[in-house]
A and B are shown apart, each in its own frame.
Chain A
C-alpha cells in the first residue's frame, strides 16, 4: 500500500479540527511534538490503494517563527517534508485566512484549499466563487461544511489526485514588486548548497528575519544574516519601509484582490448572530454576572453532579477491589500476607484516582463545548484587567475556577486547562498557582478538623478557608511573575473573538475522551509508581520481634477465649482448629464487606446466594435464625472480628510509627514543632501527598479510640490529641498552602515541561506553609489568640496583601521594541 503524508494547516477558529475528525475518522492519536508541549494530533485513513497519514498542525495566523506553535508547525514542514498541505480556511472570514494561505503556497509543497463553513458564509450573505479562487491560486479548492460532514469525500479524492499528479505541480509566486531583486539576490547565495526546500521560499523567509530558517542556513552560508541585514538597509533607504511590514502589506493586498474577485457580499451592514449575542454577553453591566453564572453552572454540573455520579460508579470500583481481595491469599488471623496488603493498597490508590474520571469526563466535555462555542476568549476579554494586575492573563480564569475558586475543585483539570494561554509567563504563573486553589479532596480533611475543634463556627471557618485560597493564589502569582518568572517571554495581547458556533457532538466527545485518556495514561501510571514507594516506606522495617511476640500472645488469648466459650456448642467440631476459625473469620469479614457495597435488594440477594453456596454451614453462622447454637457462634464471631480489627489497627499504627515514613515524620518534628505539628500530623501530611483522601484516613486511624469504638473520628481527635484550636488553625493553614497531590504534580510537569518546575512546585508551598503556620502559631501562643482570632487575622492579612499588590504597578510587557517612539512606516 502506498503512503501519503499530509499536513493539515489553518488559522485558529477555521474549523480545522472538525475537518480533521471528518476525514480521519476515529483512528487518531495525540502525542507531543519532540521537545515541546504542543499537541501533535495524527489521524489515518485509507482511500483506494493509499494509506494517508494526516498530521494536524497547530492553528496559527501566520507562518513566521514568533510563537511556539508557528515554530513547531514550520519545523514539522521542514523536517518531515509532507507530500501535501491541506489548508483549511473559513469561508466567512476569507481575507485574513488567505494571508496564511499565501505563505503556505510559497513553501512549494502542493496545497489543497478547503473552504470550510460554507453554510456560515451563506447565512451571512457571502457568496464565494470557489472556482475563481482555484483559478487564481493555481490549486484545488474544495467547498466543505465540516460540522455537517459535507466535503470529506472530495478532500480525500483531491489528496489522491494531487499526489498522483505531483509531477505537474506548478510553483506559486506572488509578485512582491520592489522586493523581487532582493529575493533573487538572496537566492543566489544558495548556489552550491543542496536542500529539498524551495529556494525562493527560503529567501523570502530570510528577508522576513525568520530565525528558524536563518539558523539552519547559517551552517552552510555563515554570512546569510549579514547579507539580509544589508539588503534591508538598502531597501529601507530607498523606500523607507521594512521587509516584514512590506511583505505583510503585499499579502493582505493580494488577499484583498482575491476577495474582490471571488466574493459577493449582500447584507454587509446587517447585524450577525454573533453581534447580537455579544451585545448581551459582553454588555458592560451584564458581562460579569453572566460569566459568574456560567462558571457556577460549569462547577455545578461537573464537580457537584459529577460527584453524585461517582455514587453510581464507586460500587463498580469497589467490586474490582473485592475481586482482587478474593483472588489474593487470605489472612491467617492477624498474619496478613505482604502480597495481599500490597494488592489492596495498589487497588485503593488506583481507585482513589479512577473515582474522579466521571467528573473529569464531564468537565473536559464542558470545556470542549466552551472552546468550540467561542466563549473562552470572551471570558479572557471580560476579566483580563483583574488578572493582569497579578501577572496573570484573562485566560487564567477557567484554570483557576476549575482548581477550586468555589467550595472545591481539582487542580488536575485546572492545570491541564492552562494549555491555551498565549502568554508564556502568565501560563507558567497560572500552572504554578492553580494548585493553591481549594482542592475538593481537602474538604473532608477540613471537615474533620473543624468538626473536632470549631463545631459552632464551622460555616464561618469554611467561608474563610474557601475564599482565602483565591487571594493566596493571586499573591503567589504576583510574587512569581515579578521574581523567578520575570524574564519569561510574554506575548502581546491580541486575541481574536471568533463568531459563535454550535459545537458538534462528535467533536466534543472525541476531545473529552482523548483528554481523559491522557489523564489515565500519564497520571495513573506514575501515581501507581509512587504508590509502590509509599507502600514500601510504610511497611519497612516493620514490627520488632518483641512487638510481634506481644501481638501473637494477644491473638492466642483471644482465640482461647473464643474456644472456651464454644466448647459445648453443637457446632464445635466445625471450629475446633485454628485454621477453621481463621477461614470462618475471613468468610465472615468478606461477606460483610460485600454486603456493604451491594446497593440493591437483588445484588444483596446475589451475595447471600454466593456465600450460601460457598459454605452452607458457615452461612448458618451468618444468619442463625432460630438456631440457638448458631446464634451463640454468631455473637462470638462478631466479637472475635472486632477484636481482630483492633489488634490489626494497633499493629498498623506501630508499623507506621516505626516505618520509614514515621521516622521521616519524627525527623522533621524539630522544624514542624514551631507550627505545633507532632510526628503524627507530619505523617498524615506526608501520606496525603499520594492522594488527599489518605490524610483523613491516616489521621483517623492514628487517633481512633481503641476502647470506645462508637466514637467518631472528630471526637476522638479532639479528645486524644491534646491539641488546642490554635494547633488546629496551624494545621489548617498548612493544609491550605501545602502542595497538591502527586497527580497534580505530574500534570504540572507535563504542562510546565520540566521536572525542575515540578520539584519547585512541591517545595515552595511546603516551606511557605511551614513558615506561615509557624508564624501564626507562635504569635497566637504568645498573644493567647483563640482559634477564630488567629484565623481572622490570617485571613484579613492575606486579603489586604493581595489588594496592596494589586495596586502595585505591573510590568506587563516583556517583548522587545514595545514602546519605541520612533515611527516605522507600514
Chain B
C-alpha cells in the first residue's frame, strides 16, 4: 500500500513522491511547494486532530487530512 501524508506521525519527516490531484488542487499543491522529493516535517495536529501543521520549504503550512491523503510520501528515518 502506498503511504500518504495523513499517516505520518507528529515529529516525523517524509519526502513527496507523488500527488493524486488534478486541476485546481494540483496547482494549489504545486504552488505551495509540494514538488517532487521535497522534505516535509509534521509539526503538530490541531487540538481536534484535524487539520495538521507541516513544515515545508522552511515555512509552516496547515493542511486538512483529506488533502494530506492525496499526497504520496516516503517516510524518512
Contact = CB atoms under 8 A, between A and B. Distances in A.
A403 B46 CA distance: 25
Contact of A815 (B16, B25, B51): B25
Contact of A824 (B19, B31, B61): B19
Interface of B: 16-36, 38, 44-51, 53, 57-64, 66-67, 70, 72
What's the interface size class on A, roughly? 35 or more
Contacts of A807: none
Contact of B62 (A99, A381, A388, A821): A381
Interface string A480-520: 00000000000111111111000000000000000000000
B61 A66 contact: no
A96 B23 CA distance: 21
Interface in A693-732: none
Nearest to A245: B30
Contact of A282 (B21, B27, B32, B53): B53
B27 A818 contact: no
Interface residues of B, dominant DSSP: mixed
A815 B24 contact: yes
Interface of A: 61-62, 64, 66, 93, 95-96, 99, 244-245, 248-249, 252, 274, 278, 282-285, 287-288, 377, 380-386, 388, 394, 491-499, 812-813, 815-826
B19 A492 contact: no
Given A252-B38, A492-B24, A99 B18 contact: no
Contacts of B25: 492, 815-818
Among B20, B30, B31, max chain A CB count under 10 A is at B31
A96 B59 contact: yes
Contact of A66 (B16, B27, B35, B51): B27
B18 A826 contact: yes
B6 to A, nearest CB: 13
Contact of B33 (A96, A244, A380): A96
A819 B70 contact: yes
A493 B63 CA distance: 6
Contacts of B57: 95-96, 252
Contacts of A288: 47
B18 A287 contact: no
B46 A382 contact: yes
A215 B28 CA distance: 21
A825 B16 CA distance: 10
A278 B53 CA distance: 11
A518 to B, nearest CB: 30
Contacts of A284: 44-45, 47
A80 to B, nearest CB: 24
A496 B61 contact: yes
B30 A248 contact: yes
The 9 closest A-B pairs by CB, nearest first: A817-B22, A248-B30, A62-B31, A385-B48, A826-B36, A493-B64, A497-B60, A816-B23, A287-B47
Contact of A245 (B26, B53, B60, B64): B26
Q: Which of B44, B51, B61, B63 has the most CB of A within 10 A?
A: B51
14 contacts: A62-B27, A62-B31, A66-B31, A93-B58, A244-B26, A252-B35, A381-B62, A492-B67, A494-B61, A494-B63, A813-B66, A820-B21, A825-B36, A826-B30
